[in-house]
């Protein structure tokens, strides 16, 4: 029985598609999010999330669902811009999920813009042939 478990675990690890969970692919998806956000396209940013995704913004209540996430990013885009996300590490979580650890920077839209930097952890989930954000948590460095 033990040998079957080892063989099964090995097969699962080897079957994970490299293109789905490699750093370049995840960075490309993060870039797509930043482009939508920077353009003020909250619907486009929210479309990168699963229908039942959860975000956990710092100093705010947890929000669930794509429509709530769209409202959140719309409000954020009114105050922030010039966003940049940098993928630091990607860890596969089976063949249909991946964990991304990264950093971010944004600038406030105040009369004297300030840079806001921080870090995030995201769980990506495969939905059909697309990768979507399922869980998103972040906080600032200050």
Say how far apart CA 87 and CA 24 lie, in whole Å.
Answer: 8
Whole-model pTM: value is 0.84
- For 56-79, what is each residue's pLDDT tens digit? 999 999 999 999 999 999 999 999
Sign of CA dihedral 120, 47, 90, 26: negative
Say how far apart CA 8 and CA 14 lie, in whole Å.
Answer: 10
Sign of CA dihedral 29, 39, 43, 76: positive
Confidence of residue 8 (pLDDT cuts 50, 70, 90): very low
Contact predicate 45/66, CB 8 Å? no
For the cut 70, the answer to whether the pLDDT of residue 7 exceeds it is: no
**Given this model, what pLDDT does residue 12 score?**
40
- For 16-66, what is each residue's pLDDT tens digit? 444 456 899 999 999 999 999 999 999 999 999 999 999 999 999 999 999
Per DSSP, the residues of 62-73 read -EESHHHHHHHH
């Amino acid at each position: 029985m033990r040998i079957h478990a080892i063989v099964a675990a090995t097969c699962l690890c080897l079957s994970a598609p490299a293109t789905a969970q490699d750093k370049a692919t995840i960075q490309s998806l993060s870039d797509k999010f930043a482009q939508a956000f920077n353009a003020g396209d909250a619907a486009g940013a929210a479309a990168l999330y699963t229908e039942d995704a959860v975000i956990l913004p710092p100093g705010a209540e947890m929000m669930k669902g794509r429509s709530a996430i769209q409202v959140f990013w719309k409000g954020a885009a009114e105050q922030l811009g010039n966003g940049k996300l940098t993928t630091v590490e990607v860890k596969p979580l089976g063949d249909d999920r991946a964990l991304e650890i990264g950093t971010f920077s944004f600038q406030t839209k105040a009369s004297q813009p300030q840079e806001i930097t921080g870090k995030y952890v995201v769980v990506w989930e495969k939905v059909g042939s697309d990768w979507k954000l399922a869980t998103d948590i972040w906080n600032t460095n200050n």
